[in-house]
Structure 1
Amino acid sequence: MSQGVQVVGLYVRDHDEALAFYVDKLGFKVHTDVRNGDYRWLTVQHPEQPLFQLGLFVPGPPVLDAATAEDISAIVAKGAMPPLVLAVDDCRAAYEKLCACGVEFTQEPIERFGNIDAGFRDPSGNGWKMIQAGKQS
């Protein structure tokens, strides 16, 4: 039997805003976009990782009550969630490309620990680290 992580969820404040960011700016592809009443299951994939999906979920019913959803939205907006990591071959080139697409960075590329990394946030406040791995000895 084969098992593994297929979807990792990310809370966003608005599905359409998140979809535009992840598809139009970061280059992800829509995998699933289905609705059941007010509930929407929306996942995207990085084009080079077809077996892994990033779920873009608005906190709320039927999973969460309104008060909890509001609390979670506030925490995400403050950038308090752990960052996700986007691996890139050339951090500085990716930084320039994403800046040209309108991605707002919280940290320009910097070299540390043998890697080069930069930081940005999505429109909902979720933090990302973009990392170019150094050569391993």
Structure 2
Amino acid sequence: MNINLSQCFIAVDDHDKALAFYRDALGLEVRKDVGFEGMRWVTVGSPAQPDVDIVLEPPLADPSASAADRQAMAELLAKGLLRAVIFSTADVDATFEHIRAAGGDVLQEPVDQPYGVRDCAFRDPAGNVVRFSKPRTA
């Protein structure tokens, strides 16, 4: 069996702020921008991976969700507890400096991890953890 990742979803509470991060700071391309029933979904992706889409979605797009569920999702999002995404990069330090210079909210500066990668982390404007890593060479 051969399977490939096609899409992943990241909850955001302000698509314009999210685009300033994912498009402008990270350099991802906008592939789709769709509105439906007062909600918005924006699909972004790396030009180097045309078959993988990242969908920036409303925190709780399920129309059957209760007001309490929506509130709970908003609170989890605000705390940065919903999602994390990890990008690979050829140069963690250069990526870190680029994103920091673009105003990225630094969560962790570049560090060699004991599990074999060098990585760094930021929070996107919605609070999601976004990591950038590269396997360490011996």
Interval containing the TM-score (normalised by the shorter chain): 0.7 to 0.9
Q: Report the Cα offset of residue 6 of structure 1.
A: 1.7
Map of 1:111-126 to 2, 5 A cutoff?
111-113=112-114, 114-126=116-128
Secondary structure at the residue paired with 1:64? coil
- Say how many residue pairs are matched: 136
Task: Write the letter of the residue equivalent to 1:101.
Answer: A
| Structure 2 match to 1:133 | 135
Unmatched runs of 5 consecutive residues or more in structure 2: none
Q: Percent of counterpart pairs with the same letter?
A: 35
3-state DSSP of counterpart to 2:98: helix
Residue aligned with 1:120, SS: strand
Query: Which consecutive unaligned segments of at least 5 residues does structure 1 have?
Result: none
Q: What is the CA-CA distance between 1:3 and the residue it aligns to?
A: 5.3
Task: Work out whether 1:10 is the aligned partner of 2:7.
Answer: no
Aligned to 2:105: 104
TM-score, normalised by the number of residues in structure 1: 0.87
1:69, distance to aligned residue in structure 2 (A):
1.8
Give the alignment's Cα RMSD to 1 decimal: 2.0
d(CA) in 2 for partners of 1:23 and 1:36?
22
User: Structure 1: which amino acid aligns with 2:32?
Assistant: T
Aligned to 2:54: 54
For residues 29 and 125 of structure 2, the distance between their equivalents in structure 1, rounded to whole angstroms, comes to: 18
Counterpart residue number, 1:42: 42
**1:90 matches 2:91:** yes
Instruction: Measure how far apart 1:31 and its partner are.
Output: 1.0
- Aligned in 2, Cα 1:63/1:110: closer, same or farther, shift over 3 Å? farther
Task: Please give the per-residue CA displacement for 1:102-123, whole angstroms capped at 9, x wherever unaligned.
Answer: 1121111011233211111101
Deviations 1:73-124 (A, max 9, x none): 2112112235210111111111111111111211110112332111111010
Partner Cα separation in structure 2 for residue 9 and residue 27 of structure 1 = 18
Query: Aligned pair in 2 of structure 1 residues 107, 23: CA closer, same or farther (>3 Å)?
Result: same
Structure 2 length as normaliser, TM-score? 0.87
